[in-house]
A and B are shown apart, each in its own frame.
Chain A
Amino acid sequence: MKINNSRMSAIISRVNLNYLTLLLIMIILVAVMSMRAPYFLSAANFAVMVDTFIMEAIMALGMTLVILSGGIDLTVTGILPFSSIMLALLMGSGMSFFPAAIIVVLGCSLIGFVTNLLRKTLNLHPMVVTMAIAAILKGLNLTITGGSAMSDFPDSFKAMSSMTVFGMPLSWAVYIVLAAFFIIMTKFNRNFIKVYFVGGNPEAAKLSGIKIERVYMMVYMISAALAAVAGILTAITYSSASYSYGTNADMRVITTVAIGGTSLTHGGSGSIVGTMLGTLFMAVIYDAFIMSGLSTYYQDVMTGVFLIAAVLLSEFFRYLKEKAR
């Protein structure tokens, strides 16, 4: 009994209050919603809810790494449509799916590489560089497509939109694999743990022999590659490619990561699991407004309120912890 008790308290002491609170708010939200909207707790709605936010969820994984390293990446809003358009171009010219997808992902991580190179050589804040690159990509996307949607895909590709893996839609499976990969890597892989060091204290990391520029390069390339994956999945889901995809996705993704407890002030604190919780939270909010029939105008207002509230709460817990010491 006594052993059990101490194990219990060990578990309790390891619970992250931020995550718990997030969970609490989410559960309350779900409770209220299920009262207002009978469909809310249905399996169909769950599926749609996940679908609604799956692209942001994938990009949020990469964004978490970027923010952990102390940076930020606004290019995702340009890369997502760019990758879908590139895929359409390549497959339209007769290439089959896998080589085309691989080229697109590699090509987009090259954009991440260039972004990071510009950041480094021009000594600019990542926000500024990524903002500029995003604007340039938008121009490129418009020029390539001429503004109209591209749907020049072979039928085999179109069939992929209803493909399932273990009974799950393709995008879910991709997300689960990626999320598991990043959870494991950030816990056990040296290169990924370096991201925390670099975000926590770049100078110290440098003195400890970490090649910090290489870490920055890695996170921006990963973030770009994940945005490319999201773009490819979007193209698969809708059998189309358009410059309009991913509009404002950068802000949604950053909001997700911030709500998930990854700190934009103190680099190096946060986790993939937190981001996944944040993702779920955002998915619930985005779904709840449509399901409840409340005006979606309030959706922006509420996202803003929850974002600030979540960060306030985590600062509050940080304060409590400090006070207790």
Chain B
Amino acid sequence: MIRKLWIILTVLIALSVPLFAGGAEESQTGNGGSTVKGDELYSMVVFTKGAEYFNWCYAGMRDAAAILGDHVKTELQGPAEWDASLEARTLEQVIVKQPKGILVAAADETTLNSSIGKALSQNIAVIGFDSDAPESGRLSYVGTNNYDFGAAAAQFIVDQIGGSGDVAVVIVPGNIAQEERAAGFKDWISENAPDVRVVSELNDEGDVAKSETVCAALFQANPNIKGIFSTHGYGAPGAAAAARTLGILDDVVIVGSDYSSAVIELLIAGDIEGSVVDDPYLIGFESMMLAYQAAHPTSVPSANPPFGHVPPIIYGGCSVITGEILSDPAVLAKYQNPPAV
């Protein structure tokens, strides 16, 4: 009996699906769901959705879209896991929605190439940001020169430790941006600070608690350690916790990357000395503007027809923020209120 009922129910509902589909045209929801005629959808695709950095990027994108008009809709997509193939799949799914433009932070340099190519071939403007896929044919890239980013950290840390001593780098292996930062860091030191040695590279798997573990062990293994640079946003809080447990917060210089409420708090408290930051909000904002520009060609001749003219690369700068800089309430306000996503 139950069987029969179930079968009948299934068949009935199956038959009614086309009815639902028919009604789709008139429905209307915001935030990139379905769009009414005249709306334009722009999608941001990232590789670790939920990372605070990308939230800032998306906030910039959203504000840019608001300036461009009510008809410009945005969405943030991407897998929570760090998996380039998953990101590529998400990108392909986004393409089905036929957005006007896609902003991509690529999980690695090559995996997304074919998906980006597919989007371009369907007249969807693709702008790379943060992490580039240089051979993909993306119209433009907005981001930071990660090599310089690492060098800035090196300069700051060498300055703080007085030009001599041992330092270490915290890194998640396999992330291009972080590898470049580490390379920039090490190269700058070997060229400019002969008395400073990079003694160790640590993997904290991008996890604050793990970072605490590895840093604590590092401080034990190398009592002469004077400074530590984390190439990503989660390393510095972990290193600070380790130093706090061992009571050596005042003896080591901890420099992080990017900003988050946690990093800001630690900077103000003086537990970490500095953090190298670029401006993810601005990166998102500019990427959105470029995507819109590319999607709406003007009379200016373009290198990538049928898209509008956009510059191939825009590098934003980076700077080191410290507790001192943040003591200015105006500066602090900028970092303190993370946008809701």
Answer yes or no: do A and B interact.
Answer: yes
Given known contacts A48-B95, A242-B111, is B13 in contact with A55 (CB within 8 Å)? no
How many A-B Cβ pairs are below 8 Å? Answer: 169
Contact A35 B2 (CB under 8 A): no
In the complex, the chain B residue whose C-beta lies closest to that of A238 is: B111
How many chain A residues touch B (CB < 8 A): the figure is: 59
Contact A23 B83 (CB under 8 A): no
Minimum CB–CB distance from A217 to chain B (whole Å) comes to 29
Q: Mark B1-40, 1 if CB is under 8 A from A, else 0.
A: 0111011011001101100110111010101111000000
A32 an interface residue at 8 Å Cβ cutoff? Answer: yes
Q: Mark A19-59, 1 if CB is under 8 A from B, else 0.
A: 01101100110111011111111101100110110010000
Contact A27 B10 (CB under 8 A): yes
In the complex, the chain A residue whose C-beta lies closest to that of B173 is: A147
Contact B9 A24 (CB under 8 A): yes
Q: Mark B57-95, 1 if CB is under 8 A from A, else 0.
A: 000000000000000000101111111111011101111
Contact B24 A38 (CB under 8 A): yes
Minimum CB–CB distance from B23 to chain A (whole Å) comes to 6
- C-alpha gap A46/B50 in the complex (Å): 27
Minimum CB–CB distance from A30 to chain B (whole Å) comes to 6
Contact B24 A246 (CB under 8 A): no
Q: Mark A277-299, 1 if CB is under 8 A from B, else 0.
A: 00000000001001111101100
In the complex, the chain B residue whose C-beta lies closest to that of A147 is: B174
B175 an interface residue at 8 Å Cβ cutoff? Answer: yes
Which residues of the other chain, B, contact A234 by a CB distance below 8 angstroms?
A: 85
Q: Interface residues of B: mostly helix, strand, loop or mixed?
A: helix
Which residues of the other chain, A, contact B2 by a CB distance below 8 angstroms?
A: 17, 320
Q: Mark A52-86, 1 if CB is under 8 A from B, else 0.
A: 10010000000000000000000000000000000
Q: Interface residues of A: mostly helix, strand, loop or mixed?
A: helix
Minimum CB–CB distance from A84 to chain B (whole Å) comes to 9
Contact A242 B3 (CB under 8 A): no
Contact B13 A240 (CB under 8 A): no
Contact B17 A296 (CB under 8 A): no
- C-alpha gap A292/B29 in the complex (Å): 9
A151 an interface residue at 8 Å Cβ cutoff? Answer: yes
Contact A292 B179 (CB under 8 A): no
Contact A55 B85 (CB under 8 A): yes
Minimum CB–CB distance from B286 to chain A (whole Å) comes to 24
Could you write out 21 A-B pairs with CB less than 8 Å apart? A12-B7, A15-B6, A20-B6, A20-B7, A38-B24, A48-B92, A51-B89, A52-B93, A142-B174, A148-B176, A149-B109, A234-B85, A237-B114, A242-B84, A244-B84, A246-B83, A247-B81, A293-B29, A294-B33, A296-B49, A297-B49
Residues of B within 8 A of A (CB): 2-4, 6-7, 9-10, 13-14, 16-17, 20-21, 23-25, 27, 29, 31-34, 49-50, 75, 77-86, 88-90, 92-98, 107-115, 173-176, 179
Closest 10 CB pairs of A and B: A147-B174, A293-B33, A149-B108, A151-B110, A247-B83, A240-B110, A293-B32, A247-B81, A34-B21, A147-B173
